[in-house]
């Protein structure tokens, strides 16, 4: 639904952006030219550092003071480059709005939702009353599908789920009637079910208001599901621009071909099917390192509220040398189970045996010796590293705690060996976490988890925020190390295609219940539970034609509602 006869909503002409740094100028955007028509959804894709987000932020004049921009960024007939702060503020909200990547960071935790929705209204309409703001806030929340909006406008951001917070960000972007919306990674780290909601909402907004949308994303399934056209960025330049079907069917540039080849496809590379029959037999007969029987985990109630049962009597096993994938939406209990296995969460009922140790009634003193046999890869390595420690010190930290007999030289040798194992140069040992890219930090996180040669590795959403090319590298590395070192692993993720490519067996959690458990192909290609089927149906696939058919089937079978 694009009106190519009208003047473009956005016209970028020869945009050039440089950043002044201590190490010299960084050329972030190099001569970018593109247009977005009324009602068009344009996806801008490329790996980290390609210039996607810098280009997007240029559309709202949100570049930092260290940036020097030239060229033209014309929104609704006005060139934003060189405008004053006051002039830019007049345009933001009414002509162009932005949906930021992480709503939890973008929303202010100390103000209720109605106040935050009203912030933009007050900036453009100083005489608006509190009553009018609240009325418009209710209308805005209802327009993006927030239930009980009249009551919930008085709540705070922490009282909403991740998907609801993203809907609130979309409501803010729409509040002043902007005809152009820039959405920076609007579905990153969301469950596939919630992601389906957000994508459906963006499509509905385009259809209802004729809004033009620029989507910055690394998820090629999202691109196939949502976009009309795609611009591929590489080293600050747009190297290819085409309609979404044309780009997926016949990409011209070698980089675009590599980008599409790195995308995992559900059912195409199943980890279980990739094993030889003899290897499958070995895994089936292996001793379990984790056994859960009727496992219950509850959080105590507070302020008169009843206790919350996060895990409701689940049974599963993880065998030696096996990768067990755990999938499900937010709040299903995935991370709670992972933390319980690592001894970071108390079990309430049932039985959980980890490396032969019973966790129900676990005493820290008794469990501490087992910690060295368990590795943990966190979802966000940037926040799990001490920013004051070098990479070598971060990796060596477990050795200092558990292997005090080692000399400094021996620790350094082990760290250098691990850096080589995760395919990073030894010179990175002296760098700090902020000096590395997201993919490099995730490799360091994997190295730290493996430094004590654990028998069990727990990986909690380790690739959710990575570009597809970087994700493919990290997954290949994980697969190679697991095969070589033979550790058992619990792999927690909301990306079904990634889990299918890594996990030998898969468990599906739904509101604390394990509704399905079996080998990867059985669960993901022949699901028996209704929730699993909806989960798979809501996953966007990196093929525009197939995705259009899947969306039609989903809507015919389950209506416009979302899974769960």
Number of other CB atoms surrounding residue 22 within 10 Å? 4
What pLDDT score was predicted for residue 189? 65
Taking CA atoms, 180 is separated from 137, 172, 437, in Å, by 20, 13, 30
The Cα diameter of the chain in Å comes to: 75
Is residue 221 classed exposed, middle or buried when 0-12, 13-18 and 19+ CB atoms within 10 A define those classes?
A: buried
Residues contacting residue 556 through CB under 8 Å, at least 6 positions apart: none
**Cβ of 190: how many Cβ atoms within 10 Å?**
23
Q: 380 to each of 13, 376, 396, how far by Cα in Å?
A: 36, 12, 19
Domain 10-102+179-261 has CATH 1.20.140.10: no
Helices then strands, counting H and E runs in the chain, come out as: 23, 20
Name the residue with tokens 């994700």.
471
- Closest by Cα among 529, 528, 539, 512 to 326: 512
Smallest CA-to-CA distance from 482 within 455, 445, 518 is with 455
pLDDT tens-place values along the chain, 564 residues long: 444 457 899 999 999 999 886 667 788 899 999 999 999 999 999 887 788 989 998 999 888 888 899 999 999 889 998 888 888 888 888 899 998 877 877 899 999 999 999 998 998 899 999 999 999 999 989 888 888 899 899 999 988 877 788 889 888 888 888 899 999 888 876 778 778 888 888 999 999 989 999 999 888 889 999 999 999 999 999 999 999 999 999 999 999 999 898 888 888 889 999 999 999 999 999 999 999 999 999 988 777 778 889 999 999 999 999 999 999 887 788 989 999 999 989 999 999 999 999 998 888 888 888 888 999 988 777 778 888 999 999 999 999 988 888 899 999 888 888 888 887 888 888 888 888 777 788 888 888 998 888 999 999 888 876 778 778 888 888 888 898 889 999 999 888 889 999 999 999 999 899 999 999 999 999 999 999 998 888 888 888 988 888 888 777 776 654 433
Among candidate residues 105, 263, 109, the one with its CA nearest the CA of residue 184: 105
CA–CA gap between residue 350 and residue 331 (Å, rounded): 20
Domain pair 10-102+179-261 / 267-373+455-524, same fold: yes
Q: Which two tokens stand for residue 31?
A: 């001569």
Instruction: Report helix angle 438-450 to 468-485, nearest 10.
Output: 10
- Residue ranges per structural domain of the chain: 10-102+179-261, 267-373+455-524, 383-453
pTM of the model: 0.81
Per-residue model confidence (pLDDT) at position 561: 45
Q: Is the dihedral of CA 216, 217, 218, 224 positive or negative?
A: negative
Tokens of 531: 């929730």
292 and 359 Cβ atoms separated by less than 8 Å: no
Round to whole Å and give the CA distance between 155 and 151: 8
CA distance 238 to 121: 35
Q: What is the pLDDT of residue 5?
A: 52
Q: 267-373+455-524: what fold?
A: Rossmann fold (3.40.50)
Q: Name the helix (H) or strand (E) containing 32.
A: strand 24-36
């Amino acid at each position: 639904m694009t009106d190519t006869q009208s003047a473009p909503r956005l016209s970028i002409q020869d945009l050039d952006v440089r950043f002044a740094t201590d190490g010299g100028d960084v050329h972030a955007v190099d001569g970018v030219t593109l247009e977005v028509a009324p009602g068009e959804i344009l996806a801008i894709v490329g790996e980290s550092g390609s210039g996607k987000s810098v280009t997007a932020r240029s559309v709202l004049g949100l570049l930092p003071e260290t940036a020097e921009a030239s060229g033209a960024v014309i929104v609704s007939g006005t060139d934003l480059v060189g405008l004053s702060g006051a002039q830019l503020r007049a345009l933001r909200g009414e002509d162009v709005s932005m949906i930021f990547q992480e709503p939890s960071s973008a929303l202010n935790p100390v103000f209720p939702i109605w106040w935050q929705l009203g912030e933009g209204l007050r900036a453009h309409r100083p005489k608006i009353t509190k009553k009018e703001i609240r009325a418009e806030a209710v209308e805005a929340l209802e327009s993006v599908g927030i239930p009980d909006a009249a009551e919930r406008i008085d709540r705070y951001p922490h009282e909403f789920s991740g998907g609801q917070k993203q809907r609130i960000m979309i409501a803010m972007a729409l509040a002043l009637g902007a005809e152009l919306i820039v959405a920076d990674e609007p579905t990153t780290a969301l469950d596939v079910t919630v992601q389906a909601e957000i994508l459906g909402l963006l499509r509905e907004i385009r259809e209802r208001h004729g809004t033009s949308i620029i989507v910055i994303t690394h998820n090629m399934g999202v691109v196939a599901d949502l976009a009309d056209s795609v611009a591929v960025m590489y080293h600050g330049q747009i190297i290819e621009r085409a309609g979404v079907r044309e780009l997926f069917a016949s990409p011209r540039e070698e980089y675009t071909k590599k980008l599409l080849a790195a995308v995992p496809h559900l059912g195409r590379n199943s980890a279980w099917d990739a094993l030889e029959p003899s290897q499958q037999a070995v895994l089936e007969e292996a001793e379990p390192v984790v056994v859960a029987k009727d496992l219950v985990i509850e959080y105590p109630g507070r302020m008169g509220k009843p206790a919350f049962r996060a895990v409701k009597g689940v049974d599963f096993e993880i065998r030696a040398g096996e990768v067990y994938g755990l999938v499900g939406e937010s709040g299903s209990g995935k991370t709670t189970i992972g933390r319980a296995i690592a001894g970071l969460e108390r079990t309430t009922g049932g039985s959980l045996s980890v490396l032969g140790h019973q966790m129900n009634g676990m005493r820290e003193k008794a469990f501490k010796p087992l910690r060295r046999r368990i590795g943990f890869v966190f979802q966000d390595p940037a926040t799990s590293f001490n920013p004051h420690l070098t990479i070598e010190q971060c990796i060596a930290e477990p050795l200092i705690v558990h292997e005090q007999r080692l000399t400094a030289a021996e620790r350094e040798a082990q760290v250098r060996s691990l850096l080589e194992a995760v395919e990073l140069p030894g010179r990175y040992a002296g760098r700090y976490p902020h000096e590395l890219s997201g993919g490099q930090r995730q490799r360091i996180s994997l190295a730290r988890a493996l430094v004590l040669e654990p028998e069990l590795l727990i990986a909690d959403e380790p690739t959710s925020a990575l570009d597809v090319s970087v994700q493919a590298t990290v997954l290949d590395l994980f697969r190679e190390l697991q095969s070589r070192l033979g550790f058992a692993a619990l792999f927690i993720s909301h990306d079904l295609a990634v889990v299918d490519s890594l996990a030998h067996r898969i468990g599906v959690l739904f509101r604390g219940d394990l509704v399905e458990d079996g080998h990867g192909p059985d669960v993901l290609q022949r699901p028996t539970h209704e929730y699993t089927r909806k989960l798979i149906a809501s996953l966007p696939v990196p093929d525009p034609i197939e995705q259009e058919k899947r969306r039609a089937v989903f809507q015919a079978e389950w209506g416009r509602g979302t899974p769960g």
